[in-house]
Amino acid sequence: MTSRDILHMRRAIALAARGLGGTSPNPVVGCVVLDPSGEVAGEGFHAYAGGPHAEVVALRDAGGRARGGTAYVTLEPCAHTGRTGPCATALLEAGVARVVVAVPDPNPVAAGGAEVLRRHGVRVDEGVLTAEAEEGNAAWLTFVRARRPFVTWKFAATMDGRSAASDGTSQWITSPEARADVHRLRAESDAVVAGIGTVLADDPRLTVRPPAGSSAEPSVAPVLRVVADPGARTPAGARVLDGAAPTLVAVAEDAAVPAHLSPVVRIPRVQGGIDLHALLAELHGRRIVSVLVEGGPTLAGAFLREGLVDRVVGYLAPALLGAGAAALGPAGVSTITEIHRLEFASVTPVGPDLKVVLRPKTPAHQSSLPAHPLVTDPLVTDPQVVQSPKES
């Protein structure tokens, strides 16, 4: 690995990030193509599901300068035909002499591009900035390797950890800038999950909205709104049922469901609610790659207790309440040795607030589970699978 390899792969990783929120259920991928002299000839990223892959975009940008050159790709080029042709073939036809790959493709249907290239005389170097590229593609890698959606828990709180005052009021603890950033988080997710307690107390819409004072419409497809409602208590007039975005109500298997709740999915009941593992398995089957948990402290505690939180995003206001609702409910900790310890990923100011991003010490996307035989390439249309509402 040379310093030039690091430089160009880091650029490819930055390009891949431009696709966040648009590529699901596909991965985000970036590509940089150099000409034979080592100058950048083309760049590209995968922008939306069904659209051209990063390699194809970069090769088009490079034109004839790609022949004899080098391509840096954040994910192993695919070797199959889905809604687009194999990227390995595109690289061969362009005459690229060397391909540098950050992450091997864990999808058993799409993998194999590196071997195809090698068989045709292309030099392939793998493992350049793997950890950085995996972090940028954590949601999709979790979806494939851990066989469930990537889960982000978002909360807003005062510096003493309160998400509401003693009388239940909570609007607004954080600033307009922080709330605008939450909408960006939603836009990057396939589904937003809230518990019935939040729906009854706050009547949220859970949609992606433009910043206050802006007339611009969000440039992303609606996320799927999911209500964890074991007893099927979501009122007919709840704003999550307003038709502004798709909604799925997850009820217990034995719940009596009123006529106004549709569609619903029945999930096994467990003590305190519904089986969250089963809920995520249902969403995985619908090709939901990433989930944003915006429910109250009870739902957040349940996700954390079950080991199902892959990222925590907290917005901390420079304020104190001293009493009121805590941001997190019971999370399975009865003694200090059971504490949920995380690592800081970033701490950044957002307006007057702090945005703190944390992750588990062993992320799920680094899971060593064997490839699942039912994992299919998201680019292959499967009429038996209900598609994510964000898929193009």
Whether 175 shows a pLDDT value over 70: the answer reads: yes
Of the given ranges (45-49, 142-146, 150-154, 361-365), which has the lowest mean pLDDT? 361-365
What confidence category does residue 210 fall into, taking pLDDT thresholds of 50, 70 and 90? low
Confidence band for 367, pLDDT divided at 50, 70 and 90: low
CA torsion angle for 350, 351, 354, 357 (degrees, to 10)?
A: -10
**CA separation for the pair 292, 133 (Å, rounded):** 21
Say what the pLDDT of residue 221 is.
60
Radius of gyration over every alpha carbon of the chain, rounded to an integer in angstroms: 22
Residues 6+ apart with CB under 8 A from 156: 163, 173, 174, 178, 182, 314, 315, 316, 317, 327
What tokens appear for 53 in the block? 């892959």
- Residue 148 buriedness (CB in 10 A; 0-12 / 13-18 / 19+): buried
pLDDT at 366: 65
Q: Which is catalytic among the residues 43, 55, 76, 188?
A: 55
* 363/130: higher pLDDT: 130
The C-alpha atoms of residue 97 and residue 348 are separated, in whole angstroms, by: 41
d(CA 166, CA 311): 28
336: DSSP letter: G
> In the predicted model, what is the mean pLDDT of the chain?
88
CA angle 238, 243, 247 (to 5 degrees): 75
What pLDDT score does 155 carry?
95
Is 55 considered catalytic here? yes
Encode pLDDT of 108-142 as tens digits.
777 789 999 999 999 999 999 999 999 999 999 99
How do residues 266-301 score in pLDDT, each as one tens digit? 999 998 899 999 999 999 999 999 999 997 899 999
User: How confident is the model over 28-45, as a mean pLDDT?
Assistant: 97
**Is it the case that residue 204 has pLDDT exceeding 80?**
yes
Q: What percent of the chain has pLDDT over 90?
A: 74
- Across the range 325-354, mean pLDDT stands at 93
Confidence of residue 79 (pLDDT cuts 50, 70, 90): confident
Q: Is 343 helix (H, G, I), strand (E, B) or coil?
A: strand
